[in-house]
């Protein structure tokens, strides 16, 4: 047993005083008392001349001493210590991603987690323990370095804010693991709902993680994708593609509105079944460049994914130069890839280079490599692959990334390939289609040039006979279109940095003004040598306005993440083959017993009161 206020034991000095009063002989004085049950034999005694008398066994004395002892114990606040956290260094990782805004617990998951962290701060044992606070929001940020000062920890925790960004816990846990490495007696405490957490990279590491889960349900409907393309049936109109996902176990009937620059254009009634998704397509006229927004007309546990916005420029012709020795499948696929595609076919590409938006090189090596966006088929610039290009026979397609815009609605099942160039994936590209030993399709930005590389000759494969081939070519023309690439600059995920090259017209601007969705204005100074504008404070979804002098442009930040919209709280986090980390459970610890002692003292008084009235009744 321990005591929270041991100084109260000084009141135990009153116990001998009670005994002294019983040693003193009394002078007979008439007193009015509420009870005489325990006093009667003393009233019969004669007054003595000696000041002290022999101490006798007396129930009244024992009860008074017991009552005083109970009062002293109650004031000392005794408790029995349970199992508490005695780690010398506690690294707290507080999840501040969008899913933590869920209101399934009051007032929100983030506020609940923050209150639990503050309770941990209250339990620190002075200088023997230290705490470090990491907030994993739009980026992993150390809000308070290791300290035992509770006031500093409380300020850091209370100043933390939740964001509309996706989960950044892997980065935060990587920092926490570094801070606790080779430090015995240290622990990492993660306060999160577990949405989108991937611990696979820590499978073989000594991650001393304590997981504190928050959240009780997943009642949410969210917009997880949004795109604007030319309407294939009417080039004068735009097609807006949206996808709505339901992560709960109940069906939702609601409306999805389409807005253009804040004005409602169209509204559609949708029904989304339990744990299902629904695609929605709008067709809208567009007379000027602007911003399309889709908005759900319901109230659920998470508001951050109930709307999303995308910038839309006016359709412009795409000038494409196709360099081929004769590939009718490719020629037809490029010509039919969009209503605004203008194709020029040639067998050679030499100086002077013609003007074009996209160059398609089909199994040819040009005398001069174009500086524009390129679709290269069975050829490649040596600058793209420093390790060189080999050859592999009859490669099998084992995987492809269908989440990439180039592979949207593309399936490569049963595609057979005679041979392909073998390269290592360079740093500037990502592999879209893989064989067991080398990538088959790559895409990325090489400097300011967008490149799509196909390692095999399409005529030496069965791909042109599949419906996925013209779909891929249409996706490639859209992705390589400079207008599309420029538009993508103005659509980011919340928490990501907005980057924009500064052209000649903006080179002399000394500062830029950014107006955030909450009308918060910030001025960003620009250096005289600046070639790019970077703005990283985008924790909230919505439309941001950037002003360069008299020039104004808008960019959109959205959540658009199916994993973050899935609010199902994870009670355990997987560590791969090592098993999993189960969430902690609330238990009563360090229970105080002063109330029991106070009630015992009151019971003694009530017992004496009852006995008196029973005898006198």
Q: What are the domain boundaries of the chain?
A: 2-81+594-616, 89-216+569-589, 318-486
Q: Rounded CA gap, 299 and 276, in Å? A: 18
Specify the CATH architecture of the domain 318-486: 3-Layer(aba) Sandwich (3.40)
Cα angle, residue 148 at apex, residues 143 and 153 outer, rounded to 5°: 35
Q: Decide which of 587 and 462 is more confident.
A: 462
* Residues 128-154, mean pLDDT to the nearest whole number: 90
* Least trusted range by pLDDT, from 297-306, 523-532, 564-573: 523-532
Residue 302 has pLDDT above 80, yes or no: yes
Pairing of strands 390-393, 491-493: unpaired
Residue 468: partners with Cβ closer than 8 Å, 6 or more residues away: 409, 410, 411, 412, 415
Residue 138 has pLDDT above 90, yes or no: no
Q: Rounded CA gap, 38 and 274, in Å? A: 75
Contact 389, 425 (CB under 8 A): no
| Rg from Cα positions in the chain | 37
Which tens digits make up the pLDDT trace of 477-495?
989 998 887 888 899 999 9
Residue 28 has pLDDT above 70, yes or no: no
Q: Decide which of 116 and 39 is more confident.
A: 116
Residue 46 has pLDDT above 50, yes or no: no
Strands in 551-558's sheet, in edge-to-edge order, are 491-493, 551-558, 542-548, 511-515, 521-525
* Residues 135-161, mean pLDDT to the nearest whole number: 92
Burial of 204 (0-12, 13-18, 19+ CB in 10 A): exposed
Which tens digits make up the pLDDT trace of 371-389?
889 999 999 998 999 888 9
Helix or strand (DSSP H, E) at 487: helix 482-489
Which tens digits make up the pLDDT trace of 56-110?
666 677 777 787 888 888 887 776 655 455 678 899 999 999 999 999 999 999 9
- Residues for the chain: how many in total? 617
**89-216+569-589 CATH:** 3.40.50.410
Which tens digits make up the pLDDT trace of 466-478?
999 999 999 999 8
User: 3-state class of 523 per DSSP?
Assistant: strand
Residue 392: partners with Cβ closer than 8 Å, 6 or more residues away: 419, 420, 421, 422, 435, 437, 438
Q: What is the pLDDT of residue 224?
A: 94
Contact 463, 420 (CB under 8 A): no
Residue 41, CA distances (Å) to 30, 33, 53, 60, 67 in order: 15, 15, 15, 12, 22
How many other β-carbons are positioned within 10 Å of the β-carbon of residue 347? 11
Residue 38 has pLDDT above 70, yes or no: no
The neighbouring-strand residues paired with 557 are 492, 542
């Amino acid at each position: 047993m321990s005591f929270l206020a041991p100084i109260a034991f000084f009141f135990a000095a009153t116990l001998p005083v009670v005994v002294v009063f019983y040693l003193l002989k009394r002078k007979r004085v008439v007193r009015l008392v509420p009870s005489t049950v325990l006093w009667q034999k003393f009233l019969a005694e004669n007054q003595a001349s000696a000041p002290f008398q022999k101490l006798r066994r007396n129930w009244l004395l024992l009860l008074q001493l017991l009552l005083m002892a109970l009062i002293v114990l109650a004031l000392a606040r005794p408790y029995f210590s349970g199992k508490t956290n005695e780690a010398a260094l506690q690294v707290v990782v507080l999840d501040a991603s969008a899913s933590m805004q869920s209101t399934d617990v009051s007032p929100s998951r983030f506020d609940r987690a923050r209150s639990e962290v503050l309770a941990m701060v209250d339990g620190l044992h002075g200088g023997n323990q230290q705490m470090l606070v990491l907030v994993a929001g739009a980026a992993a940020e150390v809000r308070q370095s290791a300290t035992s000062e509770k006031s500093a920890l409380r300020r850091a925790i209370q100043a933390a804010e939740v964001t509309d960004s996706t989960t950044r816990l892997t980065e935060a846990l990587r920092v926490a693991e570094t801070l606790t490495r080779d430090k015995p007696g240290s622990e990492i405490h993660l306060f999160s709902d577990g949405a989108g957490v991937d611990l696979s990279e820590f499978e073989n590491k000594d991650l001393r993680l304590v997981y504190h889960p928050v959240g009780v349900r997943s009642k949410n409907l969210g917009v997880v994708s949004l795109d604007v393309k030319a309407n294939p049936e009417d080039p004068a109109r735009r097609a807006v593609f949206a996808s709505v996902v339901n992560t709960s176990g109940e069906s939702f009937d609601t409306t999805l509105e389409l807005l253009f620059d804040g004005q409602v254009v169209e509204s559609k009634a949708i029904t989304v079944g339990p744990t299902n998704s629904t695609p929605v397509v709008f067709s809208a006229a567009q007379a000027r460049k602007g911003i399309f927004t889709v908005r759900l007309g319901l109230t659920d546990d998470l508001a951050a994914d109930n709307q999303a916005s995308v910038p839309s420029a006016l359709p412009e012709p795409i000038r494409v130069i196709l360099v081929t020795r004769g590939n009718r499948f490719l020629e037809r696929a490029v010509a039919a890839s969009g209503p605004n595609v203008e194709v020029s076919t040639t067998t050679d590409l030499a100086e002077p280079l013609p003007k074009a938006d996209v160059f398609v090189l089909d199994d040819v090596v040009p005398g001069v490599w174009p500086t524009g966006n390129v679709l290269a088929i069975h050829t490649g610039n040596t600058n793209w692959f420093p390790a060189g290009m080999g050859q592999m026979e009859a490669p099998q397609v084992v995987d492809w990334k269908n989440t990439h815009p180039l592979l949207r609605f593309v399936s490569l099942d049963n595609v057979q390939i005679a041979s392909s160039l073998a390269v290592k994936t360079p740093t500037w590209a990502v592999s879209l289609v893989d064989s067991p030993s080398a990538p088959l399709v790559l895409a990325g930005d090489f400097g300011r040039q967008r490149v799509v590389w196909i390692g095999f000759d399409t005529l030496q494969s069965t791909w042109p006979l599949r419906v996925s081939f013209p779909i891929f070519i249409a996706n490639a023309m859209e992705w390589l279109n400079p207008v599309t690439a420029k538009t993508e600059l103005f659509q980011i995920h919340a928490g990501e940095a907005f980057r924009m090259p500064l052209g000649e017209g903006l080179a002399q601007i000394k500062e830029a003004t950014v107006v955030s969705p909450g009308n918060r204005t910030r001025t960003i100074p620009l250096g005289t040598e600046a070639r790019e504008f970077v703005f990283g404070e985008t924790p909230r979804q919505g439309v941001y306005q950037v002003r360069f002098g008299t020039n104004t442009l808008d960019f959109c930040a959205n959540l658009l993440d199916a994993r973050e919209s899935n609010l199902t709280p994870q009670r355990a986090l997987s560590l791969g083959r090592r098993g999993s980390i189960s969430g902690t459970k609330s238990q009563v610890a360090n229970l105080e017993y002063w109330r029991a002692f106070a009630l015992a003292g009151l019971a003694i008084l009530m017992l004496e009161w009852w006995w008196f009235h029973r005898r006198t009744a």
